[in-house]
Chains A and B, each alone.
Chain A
Amino acid sequence: MRRRTLSRPAFVLSSALASLAAACAEPPAPQTSVDCPAGTETELAAEYATSVHPLLLRPVDQGGCVACHAPDSSRPFVVWPDADETFRQSRVRGLLDPTGERTLLAMLARSDGLRMPLAGQAWPEAERSAVERLVCRMAASDLPPASCSDADPGNVLLRRLSNDEYDRTAARSLGDATEPSSGLAADTPGHGFDNVASAQTLSIGHLERYLNVGARLARETLLVPSSVETNLEAESLSAYIYNGQKPGPGQGSVVGEHYHFQRIRSYLNGGLQHAPYAGTYTIEVKARGTSAPHYTCPEPNAYDLCVQHQAAHDGPWLLVENNVAPKLVVMVDGQLVGQGIDVASVAEPSQLGPFASYSVSVPLEPGFHSVRVWLDNVVYWAREERDVTLDVDRIRWTGPLPADLPPVDAARIARFLLCDSFACRDQAIANALAVLWRRPATSDEVARYAVLVDDAAAAGESFKDGLEAVLEAALASPNFLFRPELDPEPDVPASRPLDGYELATRLSYFVWGGPPDADLLAHAAAGDLVQDDVLGAELDRMLQDPRASAIVERFAAQWLQLESIESSSPSAGAFPNFSDALKASFMGELHAILVDALANERTVFELIDSPRVFVDARLAAHYGLDATGLGEAFVAVSPGASGRGGLLASAGVLMMTSHPSRTSPTKRGKWLLEQLLCRPPGAPPPNVDATFEGKDVANLSPKEMLEQHTTSPSCAGCHAQMDPLGFALEGFDAIGQARTTYATGEPVDDVASLPDGVTLNGLGDVVAYVKSDPGFPLCTARKMLTYALGTDPTRFDPCAVEAVTSGFADGGYTLKALVRAVAMGPTFRSRRPAKQGEYDDLFGGQP
């Protein structure tokens, strides 16, 4: 039943050994100079265990191997100490998975032309002869394909919703489309995806924000919009004088139940007031005051202390024009509201009567707004000891006007508020938990949450208040934030099929990036989702649903690292024609390519080699294509001779793999190897000597400069693969414009050679190189499995990748075929508890 898509015979293992390959590549009769009799699998495994494996347990950094194997340094060449397991995995990986660990055996299996050992590097003779003999024997033996019959579904760690998944969940389960994750801690992606459990940690910083955002969502889910009213008693507010200091003696104080302004510009701080909705808000001040007698002050210096007066806003200090009533000024967010209010006043404090109300209104956006009430004018002079005074009794904040309130979303409320009575407590709780937790709640859980409703009742709150607390807790619960899959025997690592609810949740987060819908949950409840036919039908339905756009927005965007386009910032000096609008068009093209690929069942090969290019008017001009009739929408046109249309020729990818002012062949090559072929080169070793001492490199071309990489053994291993792929794309500048010369006027050189001698002449050859590499579909499958399971790809059984790749091929290499191959396969549909010590590397042996 299992089919092999990469039908390389076993002797490919020897291809890295050029000299030996000649001797061994013609089975069944190897040359007699090498003693390599054919053997059974058992015999060869035994030879591996006795003569090769012990040698490979040595650290990499002995024997001149570290130049190429630097990433593995002092680690042994083999990652599994057990010889039989290493042999099995090496067989499987060597044949099927050129992306495997950078072990010696994987190196032997490489088909990308990187020979071992590099010139000038020594390979200990005993090791060489033992390995060569084994490889030769395997070639001679014509072994059957390595067995994948017992593929291990692996363990899937407890996953937490990524921020994007949280948003999609809030949108679907709560009807909240505000993308609330903007209030959450940032994701810490691993292996390129935001949902990889091993890279997720949780601290108080995460939880606090889950609590805050959850509380807001709970409140708003049940909210009937209403106006707010806050009364601020003046005597409880703090006052400040104009320079931010507290009022001193005689500058204002609390008198009884009101605040008494006196002698100096000062304000009462009404703090931050909440505006729940956009609309008109009213600030009403209850006040009274005394006026000052008429006086003009033509010559300020004639008085001990003349008049101080200032408009509350940014006006200059003014001489007084008085006989003034106290002028009350309201400021919101530091801005004057209206023109100030003349408070009705009396001449003598003894005549002061009751307070009167004065109001100003102001249109505001939702949020918190600062409110201050000022006494704007002050008249004081020493000879008569008379002031303008103002007494404020209360400030009232109300709004918005009823007409400004949003309509009630009755359906949203009714989804959780099954009835507005304590009588349906348990029913409402069970409903809420089932919606948010993607499974029915147990009676214990319902009882636990009932306490929240009962406590609210005891505190005199309504049933709705209690239900709000239920939602708040349910949204902060690990049952919501995580996606638990509970094993009957969690410490016994035996595989089991997922149950219906587990499968529904895996499926929906995989295909939709969000929670399962009623249909899926109904099948989960009925128990038939685990059947092939029902699952297949549900999958087809899901792929037809608009929510399947998550495959583009979540999977493909992360696979291709497209967020790097957003963060790219080309130098304005080097590219004066670049703009954010152009950047948006770059992103738009990639979105269009991927949406088209998903909707119209394009093959993965068409992603890089397409007969159509998606452009809007701006991008067409950027690509030198005919923009006639184009506007803001992306339209498929013929690329003509431009070579555009595929990912590799898209301005977005070309830009995000460049430096701000220049291209980087290395970055372009690295992206291509890492994202499309899953052969990530290592990063430069520390203390790398990049000085090229003793050489006059000032006059070298960019290419000659970078070729210095390949003269240093510590750099050559990786750069010899990366740089040529990038050099062949030098016909495009750092914002993806076609070019034939560099800024210096030198002609562009986009011909480069790979280590195996293949010459790449421009974009077309790079496209052909990627298309023909069996690692490309395999890598795509591997990336999707990583995303689907949220699991570190190095932990997959290689057989699982092989099986998915096989289904991918059968389905014609379309994205939907790949989704089906993953979702219908045993790896996705089953799980096993972790083995003892399986995650020691991750948790430092802590559990």
Chain B
Amino acid sequence: MTVGDGRAFGRRLLLRGLGVGLALPLLESLTPRGARAEPPTPIRRVLYYYVPNGFNMNVWADAVATMAGGKLSSLPGLPGFLAPLAGGDGKKDLREKLLVVSGLDNAPANYRASDDDANGAHFQQTASFLSCRHVDRTPFGAGQSIDQSIATSLGYITPHRSLQLGLHGSANGACAAGWPCAYLGFISWADATTPLAQLNAPGEVFETLFSSSAGGVSPADLARRKARKLRVLDVVHADAKSLHGKLGQADRYKLEQYLTAVDEAEVKAQAMGAAAACEVDPLGAVPVSYPERLDLMADLMTLAFKCDLTRVISFMRHSGGASFGKAYDFVLHDGKPLTEQKHTYSHWNAPLASEVGTLEERKAAYLAKLAAINTWEIERLAYLLRRLDDVVEPTGGTLLDNSVVLFGSELGEPDHHLANDLPLVLAGSCGGTIATDRHLAFNGGAMKNDTFADLHLGLAQRLGVTFAPPMGGGPLFGEDGTKPLPGLDG
């Protein structure tokens, strides 16, 4: 007997959950037209650049020692996997615009003996990266993430209050032992139980940013669309309100998420037309290879800042844990493509028996490959930073100068799933409010007074966002953010 060819089935499966790229043009140049009134002072922006699953901490320890004092730019280069930031090959040296930070912990991210489930590795650290709260399997929820605290505080001064971008597929199948997929999949949380969906396809990002400006829409047409959208939102809001009154408690909560989204959509609809002032060149097919798409996302983030479409971006290179389902074959080690995913190498302490050599040799090989991935990650970061630094702003300085990029991972040492001694790179001085070209070291150990959450508070402060102490005392942000991190301004 014959049963079809079975292939339609694969297609539908493939479509499910994957961000399917739109066949939109590739960016060939970034050419905005500055039709909007120029603000008198530099616009400050923040970009959280997340990479999954940690670093080779041996290399990092060496690098920290090498950068012990003095200016980064007076070193012969940059140590370890930071090297690509020092330029070479005709690429710009970024050292004068960097602040390397070492020795901070995100302690709330770590497993605790009191947790109700011990399988939360990666879930707990990833969900805590920007929220600095300890999460449990149940009840579901992280805390509001720092980017959302900033975005909420800034309000709708730009068409997008914030952007959540990423470059990974669905986290389905990676969610073990009843831990919510959302912990692995998202770093931005609007509130404790509302993770924010990312845009994962470059074409989709382009369309989101420029759909109202790039389509040759006339002002009259745009006004018509805006009026229509506002009317539609009115009607669905009324639908939801009517439904809300007839639902039980638990369902009402789900519908409240919908109502909140409608309110936000309404504010955004009111801002329609703002992006029309920023004209971009359009352009070719979205590339297939992961590194190329990563660079295209960097182009798009640059564009979003340049056109002032948002001032807050969180970018998640991949969902937590970096179980890619695919080898990191775009990273070379000893001239050969890697054959496993980052997660495999991150557990360097338990190398596979199928590798060659003694246990010690195999561990060393894994560490070297992990460092090669870290180096590649820093190369891609450097690409973004150079793009930002290429854009000279009317108010003086470059986009990079006026922004701050925080690069880091949910883990320091990945093998033990620890969010301690996080390797962190800040780039850009956020309009001269951060002293760069140096290494800022915090001391480890039990007496730590300064935390990763403090760093979040320090950056928020530079965006003009301050936190009031809660009634009855307690941290300003997350579980252990008690003050803006000292020392950022030199």
Contact = CB atoms under 8 A, between A and B. Distances in A.
A587 B139 contact: no
Contacts, number: 394
B118 A370 contact: no
Contact of B3 (A204, A208, A634, A839): A634
B33 A238 contact: yes
Given A272-B282, A333-B25, A844-B192, A702 B339 contact: no
Contact of B279 (A157, A238, A334, A844): A238
A201 B194 contact: yes
Given A557-B9, A683-B121, A205 B199 contact: yes
B198 interface: yes
A660 B347 contact: no
Interface stretch (B54-62, B83-91, B232-240): B232-240
A571 B255 CA distance: 45
Given A634-B2, A660-B326, A840-B139, A274 B236 contact: no
Interface string A216-260: 000000000000001010000010100010000000000000000
A836 B132 CA distance: 30
Interface in A328-382: 333-334, 365, 367-370
A685 interface: yes
A71 B265 contact: no
Nearest to A69: B118
B103 to A, nearest CB: 21
B469 interface: no
Interface residues of B, number: 125
B5 interface: yes
A661 B264 CA distance: 47
Given A472-B228, A484-B247, A205 B198 contact: yes
Nearest to B208: A208
B10 interface: yes
Interface string A446-476: 0011011001000100000000010011001
Given A487-B248, A843-B139, A595 B3 contact: yes
B489 interface: no
Contacts of A682: 118-119, 176-177
Contacts of B224: 459
Contacts of B190: 203-204
B349 interface: yes
Interface string A189-222: 1110010010111111111100110010000000
Interface string A676-693: 000010111111001110
A189 B283 CA distance: 35
B10 A588 contact: yes
B229 interface: yes
B3 A844 contact: no
A366 B52 CA distance: 38
B193 A207 contact: no
Most chain B beta-carbon contacts within 10 A, residue among A473, A584, A836: A473
A562 B5 CA distance: 16
Nearest to A155: B250
B3 A368 contact: no
A51 to B, nearest CB: 26
Interface in B246-284: 246-255, 257-258, 260-262, 264-265, 268, 279, 281-284
A274 B216 contact: yes
A469 B231 contact: yes
A710 interface: no
A841 B347 CA distance: 32
A596 B261 contact: no
Interface string B141-154: 10000000000000
A681 to B, nearest CB: 9
Interface in B293-315: none
A43 interface: no
Contacts of A636: 1-3
A158 B17 CA distance: 21
Nearest to B30: A244
B471 interface: no
A85 B353 CA distance: 48
Nearest to B354: A662
A547 B243 CA distance: 30
Contacts of A754: none
A631 to B, nearest CB: 10
B20 interface: yes
A683 B25 contact: no
Nearest to B139: A844
Nearest to B26: A334
Given A659-B344, A682-B176, A691-B349, 8 more contacts: A187-B170, A482-B255, A565-B10, A569-B325, A659-B352, A661-B354, A686-B118, A843-B141
Interface of B: 1-7, 9-10, 12-20, 23-25, 28-29, 31, 33, 111, 113-121, 138-141, 164, 169-173, 175-178, 180-182, 185, 190, 192-200, 204, 208, 211, 214-216, 224, 227-229, 231-233, 235-236, 238-240, 242-243, 246-255, 257-258, 260-262, 264-265, 268, 279, 281-284, 325-327, 339-341, 344, 347, 349-350, 352-354, 357-359, 362, 416-417
Q: Which 8 A-B pairs have the closest CB atoms?
A: A588-B6, A591-B6, A690-B350, A205-B197, A490-B248, A841-B138, A207-B261, A844-B139
8 contacts: A163-B16, A208-B208, A370-B283, A478-B239, A584-B7, A591-B3, A661-B354, A844-B141
